[in-house]
């Protein structure tokens, strides 16, 4: 018996097998036309009725199919009767079915790629080939079916006490509100108006990560690669943008040599035309860097989200900005999860939010779907008074790392000439409303109940049984 026959036989009346195999089976995996049709009908029936079809039901469904000749219908029905319904070893069958799905997915992906290369695919371009192959290689039967609260308590305890690997900032306040830096598999967004400092912030974080020995990928769709590198030069070489244009080559190279000796990391800057690149292009770039330069980033900067394209949704009059931008955000967060890295990007404020000294999530331009998708989102606020003090206000808008009310607003220093951010004294934070929260504890501890809970006469000693 061929594996295809074993699969089809057990899709009939074998409930346990169906629940494990149906989510991964596609009729395209079957090369024989009648087997592909039977597989499609069995999968469709199980998805619709949540139980496997019987041979009788399957024969009736075959008879109802359009496009079959009077000769083909009885042939397929006879084939169904010949299927052996004796159950083999369940574990062996699941393993063989998984191998079958993997092999067929890769085979079909290669055929699709050849079709694209030869110009016979009118929908996909060659940029889609890496994602097609990647999707085929990721086919896997996931045996994990959930976390058992009681039985898996030990693993949960270990998870609580596991030290999470993060990419730290070189700014104390950002490390405080993120509990030590950016987590992997997250999308982090800076919200600001034009000219406030979105790119400056991203260049500074990229430079700081490089100095820490991290590999950094900076994708730009707003400025040229050389302009981004120029800003990072100003930051790391401690030179103003004007000084970079007149500094001697010897001074430039000696300072750069000191940076190279201090770090084991690398920084790649890649430019794409505005609104032309999407997550598929970034995925292809990551694979190319891995193959050609053995480069795997620890953090990715994308400057900036609103001028990316969507891989899934084509921009047209029928697509609104909410759907389009949300799609881009979801694809970028998916990319962060796939490559196990944090992604930092930025977005513009609305017209009304541009002059707002207290922006909120509602001031996000084009789509509220972006803050709904982001893990960490904050606003950068500037005005003439702050410019005179060389400062900028950061306001937390969404924070999955920590309580968003913990240092909801704080001040950092900014040196625009050298494209740098820096910490200011804690006394600079005291004048801010909602700066909240110093190291004395979270906002809950400052409520009446919180004070009573921690007072000596009503001390909470834990649960007692």
Q: Are residues 87 and 236 both part of a single domain?
A: no
Q: Which of 448, 360, 436 is nearest to 402 (CA)?
A: 436
Identify whether residues 243 and 329 lie together within a single domain. Answer: yes
Q: Take residue 338 and report the two structure tokens written for it.
A: 């796939």
Whether residue 18 is predicted with pLDDT greater than 50 in this model: the reply is yes
Task: Compute the residue count for the chain.
Answer: 465
- Read off the pLDDT of each residue in 236-257 and give the average, rounded to a whole number: 93
Q: How confident is the model at residue 462, as a pLDDT? A: 54
Q: Quote the pLDDT of residue 92.
A: 87
CB 199 within 8 A of CB 222: yes
Which residues form the domain of 190?
A: 166-380+414-422
CB neighbour list of residue 142: distance below 8 Å, 6 or more residues apart: none
Q: Indicate whether 436 pLDDT > 70.
A: no
Band of residue 121 on the pLDDT scale cut at 50, 70, 90 = confident
Check whether residue 322 and residue 366 sit in a common domain. yes
pLDDT of 327 higher than 70: yes
Is the same domain home to 86 and 204? no
Q: Is residue 272 part of a domain?
A: yes
Q: Are residues 210 and 310 in the same domain?
A: yes
**Are the beta carbons of 409 and 434 closer than 8 angstroms?**
yes
Order of strands, sheet of 420-422, starting from the edge strand that comes earlier in the sequence: 267-271, 216-220, 299-303, 343-348, 187-192, 376-381, 391-399, 409-415, 420-422
- Domain match, 97 and 246 both: no
Average pLDDT of the segment spanning 80-104: 84
> Which residues are CB-contacts of 143 (< 8 A; sequence separation ≥ 6)?
none
Name which residue leads in pLDDT, 355 or 453: 355
Dihedral (C-alpha) 248, 251, 253, 254: value to the nearest 10 degrees?
Answer: 170
The pLDDT value recorded for residue 104 is 92
Which residues, at least 6 apart from 360, have a Cβ–Cβ distance to it below 8 Å? 397
* pLDDT at residue 289 greater than cutoff 60: yes
Q: Where does 245-379 have alpha helices with state H?
A: 249-262, 279-293, 321-339, 351-354, 369-373
Whether 160 is in a domain gets the answer no
Q: Do residue 215 and residue 341 come from a single domain?
A: yes
Residues 178 and 306 in one domain: yes
CATH number at residue 61: 1.10.860.10
Q: Is there a single domain that holds both residue 219 and residue 315?
A: yes
pLDDT(439) > 50:
no
Q: Is residue 398 part of a domain?
A: no
Q: How far apart are the first and last CA of the chain?
A: 61
Number of domains in the chain: 2
pTM of the model: 0.68
- Lowest average pLDDT, out of 141-145, 263-267, 268-272, 312-316, goes to 141-145
Question: Which H or E element spans position 394?
Answer: strand 391-399
Residue 226, number of CB atoms within 10 A of its CB: 10
**Which of the listed residues 121, 137, 153 is the one where a domain comes to its end?**
137
Is residue 441 in a domain?
no
**Mean pLDDT on 380-404:** 92
Q: Distance (Å, rounded) from C-alpha 447 to C-alpha 453?
A: 10
Within-domain flag for 405: no
70 domain residue, yes or no: yes
Residue keyed to tokens 């799905």: 101
Regarding whether 176 and 86 lie in a shared domain, the answer is no
Q: Encode 270-296: b = buried (16+ Cβ within 10 Å), e = exposed.
A: bbbeeeebbbbbbbbbbeebeeeeebe
Residues 313 and 176 in one domain: yes
pLDDT band at 459 (very low <50, low <70, confident <90, very high): low
CA distance 271 to 228: 9
Q: What is the CATH number of the domain that holds 185?
A: 3.40.50.300
Residue 385 covered by a domain: no
Of the pLDDT bands very low, low, confident and very high (cuts 50, 70, 90), residue 274 is: very high
Average pLDDT score over the chain: 87
Query: Phi, psi at residue 439, to the nearest 5°?
Result: -75, 0
Query: Which of 90, 119, 137 is where one domain is finished?
Result: 137
In the prediction, which pLDDT does 250 show?
93
- In terms of Cβ atoms closer than 10 Å to its own Cβ (0-12, 13-18, 19+), residue 419 is buried
DSSP letter at 295?
A: -
Which among 137, 157, 186 is the end of a domain? Answer: 137
- What is the pLDDT, as a whole number, of residue 431? 66
Asked whether residue 159 is domain-assigned, the answer is no
Instruction: Judge if the upstream peptide bond of residue 304 is cis by omega within 30 degrees of 0.
Output: yes
pLDDT at 168: 94
Whether residues 102 and 173 share a domain: the answer is no
**What per-residue confidence (pLDDT) applies to 311?**
87
CA 400 and chain centroid, separation: 14
């Amino acid at each position: 018996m061929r594996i295809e026959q074993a699969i089809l036989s057990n899709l009939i009346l074998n409930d346990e097998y169906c629940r494990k195999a149906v989510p991964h089976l596609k009729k395209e995996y079957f090369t024989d036309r009648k087997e592909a049709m039977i597989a499609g009908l069995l999968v469709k029936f199980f998805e619709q009725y949540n139980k496997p079809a019987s041979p009788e039901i399957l024969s009736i469904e075959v008879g109802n199919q359009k496009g079959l000749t009077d000769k083909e219908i009885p042939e397929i029905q006879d084939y169904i009767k010949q299927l052996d319904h004796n159950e083999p070893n369940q574990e062996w069958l699941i393993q063989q079915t998984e191998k079958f799905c993997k092999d067929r997915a890769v085979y079909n992906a290669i055929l699709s790629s050849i079709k694209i290369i030869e110009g016979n695919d009118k929908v996909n371009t060659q940029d889609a080939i890496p994602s097609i192959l990647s999707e085929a290689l990721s086919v896997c039967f996931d045996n994990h079916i959930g976390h058992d609260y009681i039985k898996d308590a030990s693993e949960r305890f270990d998870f609580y006490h596991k030290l999470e690997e993060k990419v730290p900032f070189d700014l104390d306040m950002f490390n405080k509100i993120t509990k030590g830096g950016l987590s992997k598999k997250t999308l982090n967004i800076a919200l600001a108006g034009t000219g406030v400092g979105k790119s400056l912030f991203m260049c500074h974080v990229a430079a700081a990560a490089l100095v820490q020995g991290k590999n950094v990928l900076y994708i730009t769709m707003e400025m040229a690669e050389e302009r981004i590198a120029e800003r990072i030069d100003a930051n790391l070489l401690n030179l103003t943008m004007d000084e970079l244009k007149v500094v001697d080559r010897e001074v430039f190279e000696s300072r750069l040599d000191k940076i190279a000796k201090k770090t084991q990391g690398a920084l790649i800057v890649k430019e794409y035309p505005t609104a032309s690149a999407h997550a598929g292009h970034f995925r292809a770039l990551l694979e190319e860097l891995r193959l050609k330069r053995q480069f795997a980033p620890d953090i990715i900067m994308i400057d900036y989200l609103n001028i990316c394209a969507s891989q899934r949704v084509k921009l047209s009059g029928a697509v609104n900005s909410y759907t389009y931008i949300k799609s881009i955000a979801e694809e970028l967060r998916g990319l962060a999860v796939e490559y196990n890295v944090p992604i930092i990007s930025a977005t513009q404020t609305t017209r009304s939010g541009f002059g707002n000294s207290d922006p909120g999530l509602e001031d996000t331009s084009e789509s509220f779907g972006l803050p709904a998708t982001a893990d960490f989102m904050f606003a950068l606020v500037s005005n003439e008074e702050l410019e005179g003090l060389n400062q900028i206000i950061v306001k937390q808008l969404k924070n999955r790392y920590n309580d968003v009310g913990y240092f909801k607003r704080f001040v950092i220093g900014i040196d625009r000439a050298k494209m740098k951010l820096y910490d200011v004294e804690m006394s600079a934070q005291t004048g801010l409303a909602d700066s909240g929260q110093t190291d004395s504890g979270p906002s809950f501890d400052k409520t009446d109940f919180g004070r009573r809970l921690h007072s000596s006469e009503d001390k909470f000693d834990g649960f007692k049984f």
